[in-house]
Amino acid sequence: MEKIDILMPTYNGRLYLRKQLDSILNQTFSDFRLIVSDDASTDSTLEILKEYEKKDRRIEIYGHQKNIGVSANFEFLIGKVRSEYFMFSDQDDVWEPDKIEKTFNKMKETDSDLVYTDLEVTNSRLKTIAPSYWKLKGFENKIKNYNNFESLYLNNYITGCTMLIKSKWINEFLPFPKSSKYILYDYWISLVISQKGKMAYVDEPTIKYRQHKKNQVGSKTKSEELDSLDEIRELFIDVKIDHFKTFIQNEKIFISEDIRRLNYEALNYFEKLKNVNKFNFSNWSLFFKLYKYEEFSYKMKNFLILNMPAIARIAFKHVKKSDKQRNK
CB of 153 within 8 A of CB of 187? Answer: no
Residues 153 and 111 in one domain: yes
Examine residue 50 and state whether it is found in any structural domain, yes or no: yes
Per-residue b or e along 112-140, where b marks 16 or more CB atoms closer than 10 Å to that residue's CB? bbbbbbbbbbbeeeeeeebebbbebbebb
Residues 155 and 265 in one domain: no
Q: How far apart are CA 304 and CA 316, in angstroms?
A: 11
Q: How far apart are CA 249 and CA 45, in angstroms?
A: 37
CA 156 to chain centre: 6
Residues 177 and 62 in one domain: yes
Nearest to 48 by CA among 4, 12, 80: 12
Q: How far apart are CA 152 and CA 187, in angstroms?
A: 8
Residues 131 and 259 in one domain: no
Residues 231 and 321 in one domain: yes
Give 107-167 as a DSSP string. Answer: HHHHT-SEEEEEEEEE-TT--EEES-HHHHHT-HHHHHHT-SHHHHSSS----GGG-EEEG
What's the confidence (pLDDT) of residue 317?
Answer: 78
H-type alpha helices, 167-251: 170-173, 185-196, 229-249
Domain final position from 148, 178, 210: 210
CB of 38 within 8 A of CB of 11? Answer: yes
Start-to-end C-alpha separation, the chain: 59
Examine residue 303 and state whether it is found in any structural domain, yes or no: yes
Domain final position from 210, 230, 264: 210
Residues 108 and 52 in one domain: yes
Query: Would you call 31 helix, strand, or coil by DSSP?
Result: coil
What's the confidence (pLDDT) of residue 19?
Answer: 98
The single-letter code of the amino acid at 181 is K
Examine residue 292 and state whether it is found in any structural domain, yes or no: yes
What's the number of domains the chain is made of? 2
The single-letter code of the amino acid at 164 is L
Examine residue 216 and state whether it is found in any structural domain, yes or no: no
CA 17 to chain centre: 20
Segment 121-141, tens digit of pLDDT: 999 999 999 999 999 999 999
DSSP assigned state of 69: -
Residues 254 and 192 in one domain: no
Examine residue 75 and state whether it is found in any structural domain, yes or no: yes
What's the confidence (pLDDT) of residue 186?
Answer: 98
Query: Would you call 44 helix, strand, or coil by DSSP?
Result: coil
Give 275-328 as a DSSP string. Answer: T-SS---S-HHHHHHHTTTS-HHHHHHHHHHHH-HHHHHHHHHHHHHHHHHHT-
Residues 28 and 150 in one domain: yes
Domain final position from 210, 234, 263: 210
Examine residue 231 and state whether it is found in any structural domain, yes or no: yes
Residues 39 and 132 in one domain: yes
pLDDT < 50 stretches in the chain:
217, 219, 321-328
What's the confidence (pLDDT) of residue 241?
Answer: 98
Residues 81 and 159 in one domain: yes
Examine residue 54 and state whether it is found in any structural domain, yes or no: yes
Residues 184 and 231 in one domain: no
- Cβ neighbours of residue 38 closer than 8 Å, sequence gap 6 or more: 9, 10, 11, 45, 46, 49, 61, 62, 63, 64
What's the confidence (pLDDT) of residue 318?
Answer: 62
Examine residue 187 and state whether it is found in any structural domain, yes or no: yes
What's the confidence (pLDDT) of residue 157?
Answer: 97
The single-letter code of the amino acid at 299 is K
Find the CATH number of the domain harbouring 110: 3.90.550.10
Residues 139 and 253 in one domain: no
The residue range of the domain holding 175 is: 4-210
